[in-house]
Amino acid sequence: MIAQSLPPLALEARGLIAGYERDLPIVRGVNLSVRVGEFIVLLGPNGAGKSTLVKAIVGLVPIHEGAVLLNGDDITVAPPHQKIGRGLAFVPQTENIFTTLTIEDNLLLAADVIPKPVRARRIAELYAMFPDLAAQPSRPAKLLSGGQRQMLAVARALVVQPSLLILDEPSAGLSPKIVAEVFGRLKAINATGVTIVLVEQNVKAALAVAGRAIILVEGEARHEASALELADDPIIAELYLGAARARS
Amino acid sequence: MSPQVIVDGLVAGAMIGLGATGVTLTYSILRFANFAHGEFIAWGAYFALAVSGFLGALAPALTAPIGPFSFGWSLPIAALAAIALTAALALLVDALLFGSLRAKNSAIIIMVMASFGAALTLRNLLEFIFTSSPAYYAEGLQMALRFAGVRATPDALLCLVIAAIIVIALHAVIAHTAIGRAMRAVSENPQLAAIVGIDSRKIVRLVWILGAGLACLAGVMAGLIVQIRPTMGLDLLLPLFAAAILGGIGSAMGAMLGGLIIGLAESLTVALAGGEWRAAVAFVILVAILLLRPHGLFGRS
């Protein structure tokens, strides 16, 4: 009876084995289920395979075994450029905007895959959501600060109104104040119904906004719990997060 | 620098610039120096020669010179057909050679070596089909126009105008259209471009078509102003790369400006030091730009 009331699955990974080399998989049999509307954070020590897992889901790292389902559709072998059309948007950790283009061109580029009549309206909505970007649309993106770049990267990903937004360490290199601002925006985006999967090293900040956390160790999903439980669990923190916990 | 040296340099430079524009486009998207680009120039020139010859045989009236020019309507029509044929040739070479190497994530040096192989094959094939004897689009002599003590043939002036129009149009497409934006995005970061929803395979195909089309036009111009030979592309290769690097990889306007600078430098060198030094000019400029400003005049550092 309880299962019937749960929202449907937005993302599912079944026995995923992935990595740049077939003989040296970094992700080793991960099973992952994310329900529509959830805000999930993927935690784990450096080298646990968090970034590789999301890159494999997006299509940037070869999947050797297993399957990825987006809203029930198998997207395991779909190339990255097709996944955006199916509602999956990704914000990489670094090089996540086109620095040679202006702010507006970064957004227009992403808007090329949505119907022409709604493009201008969608970009206006995003400018309303990110006023910093609206103030200087013709500014070359290379001149933006770290925080502004992350905002542009998130705005760029939201242009297509994705059902699932995956972000790889958006807090990297940002000051605590900017991290709080970025995460606050992510929480607000999640509140609009967008499912979010966040890879993070900044455990404290991530657990403050996420609903559920999944811990990856050595390419395997070892533990999952609600963010609230995990935030108060010193044993888990000691076992899996180590230095990351100490840093945050 | 006498006005005649300037005009001669600009005409040669426009031809180099047009070819360099193709080099810079393919280099910025495909990320390797395609040494077979010169062969697309030669094949373009010969495609136009073959088609115009065929049209001339079919309808001799088409070979009657248009106004002050040396050629009849058969050549502009043939040039359009040659652009399509050269683009098809480039796509074929990509499908047979570069595409499979890209799929294997081959190193850049492998791609460059493969382009050397493609260049040799294409050049020898051309010589096999058309022989190494020079050919011309029109046999008749053309009277040069004179103005302010400067002489230039109408054909050369037409080439200058066409090169200017094409480069301005190409710059406008790259700078102000969605497809140009997508090309710039793939050039900067192909992985991010894929995430944004751009099918880089489409962009690669488009770039081959554009690059080969521009090479073909440069070949037709070289054939019109100088002569058509199987080695014409090889002879132009060093000036083309020097112009593309001087202008900054990825910049169409930069490549054209680089071509004009090299054309003018060659013209000046021939006037001052003699024709035997012409070939050294592009080499010296290439070495100097790589040492002093490797990203070129308009390229990204």
In the predicted model, what is the mean pLDDT of residues B274-295? 90
Tell me: pLDDT of A244 over 80.
no
Q: What confidence score (pLDDT) does residue A243 get? A: 46
Q: Locate A195 and state its tokens.
A: 């499912």
Maximum C-alpha span of chain B: 58
In the predicted model, what is the mean pLDDT of residues A182-205? 91
* Percent of chain A scoring above 70 in pLDDT: 92
**Spatial separation of the C-alpha atoms in residues A106 and A98, rounded to whole Å:** 6
Contacts of B224 (CB under 8 A, 6+ apart): B70, B71, B75, B137, B155, B159
Q: Which residues of A touch B191 (CB under 8 A)?
A: 60, 80, 92, 95
Amino acid of residue A33: S
Among chain A residues, the shortest Cα distance to B197 is held by A81
In the predicted model, what is the mean pLDDT of residues B256-278? 92
Q: What confidence score (pLDDT) does residue A245 get? A: 47
Q: Does B180 touch chain A (CB under 8 A)?
A: no
State residue A173 phi and psi, 5-degree precision.
80, 5
Tell me: pLDDT of B127 over 90.
yes
**Spatial separation of the C-alpha atoms in residues A217 and A183, rounded to whole Å:** 24
Closest residue by Cα to residue B16 from B299, B279, B292: B279
pTM (predicted TM-score) = 0.87
Q: What confidence score (pLDDT) does residue A218 get? A: 85
Q: What confidence score (pLDDT) does residue A4 get? A: 61
Contact B1, B268 (CB under 8 A): yes
Contact (CB<8Å) B192/A60 = no
Among chain B residues, the shortest Cα distance to A87 is held by B197
Contact (CB<8Å) B196/A109 = yes
Q: Does B188 touch chain A (CB under 8 A)?
A: yes
* Percent of chain A scoring above 90 in pLDDT: 60
SS3 content of chain A, % helix, strand, coil (to 5): 40, 25, 30
Tell me: pLDDT of B184 over 60.
yes
Q: What confidence score (pLDDT) does residue B294 get? A: 87
Q: Map out the domains of chain B with their CATH numbers.
A: 3-292 (1.10.3470)
Could you give the angle at the alpha carbon of A28 between the alpha carbons of A22 and A30, nearest 5°?
130
Residue A195 bridge partners (DSSP): A164
Among chain B residues, the shortest Cα distance to A166 is held by B195
Token pair 């290379």: residue: A142
Q: What confidence score (pLDDT) does residue A1 get? A: 46
Q: Does B189 touch chain A (CB under 8 A)?
A: yes
Among chain A residues, the shortest Cα distance to B198 is held by A81
Q: Measure in Å the smallest separation between the Cα of B35 and chain A Cα atoms.
A: 27
The string of pLDDT tens digits covering residues B32-81 is 999 999 999 999 999 999 999 999 999 999 989 898 898 999 999 999 99
Q: What confidence score (pLDDT) does residue A239 get? A: 55
DSSP B135-171: B-S--S--PPEEETTEEE-HHHHHHHHHHHHHHHHHH
Distances (CA, A) of B212 to B46, B174, B208, B221: 13, 17, 6, 14
State residue B129 phi and psi, 5-degree precision.
-80, -45
In the predicted model, what is the mean pLDDT of residues B74-99? 97
**Spatial separation of the C-alpha atoms in residues A44 and A42, rounded to whole Å:** 7
Give the ipTM of the model, two decimals please.
0.88
Q: What confidence score (pLDDT) does residue B182 get? A: 95
> How many of the other CB atoms lie within 10 Å of CB of A220?
16
The string of pLDDT tens digits covering residues A101-144 is 999 999 999 999 899 899 999 999 999 988 889 999 999 999 99
At A248, the pLDDT band (50, 70, 90 cuts) reads very low
Contact (CB<8Å) A60/B195 = yes
A2-247 placed in CATH 3.40.50.300:
yes
Strand A9-18 relative to strand A27-35, pairing: antiparallel
Contact (CB<8Å) B185/A109 = yes
Strand extents, DSSP E, chain A: 9-18, 27-35, 39-43, 63-70, 73-74, 88-91, 164-168, 195-199, 212-217, 220-226
Q: How much is the mean pLDDT over chain A? A: 88
Considering A235-244, B22-31, B201-210, the range whose residues carry the highest mean pLDDT is B201-210
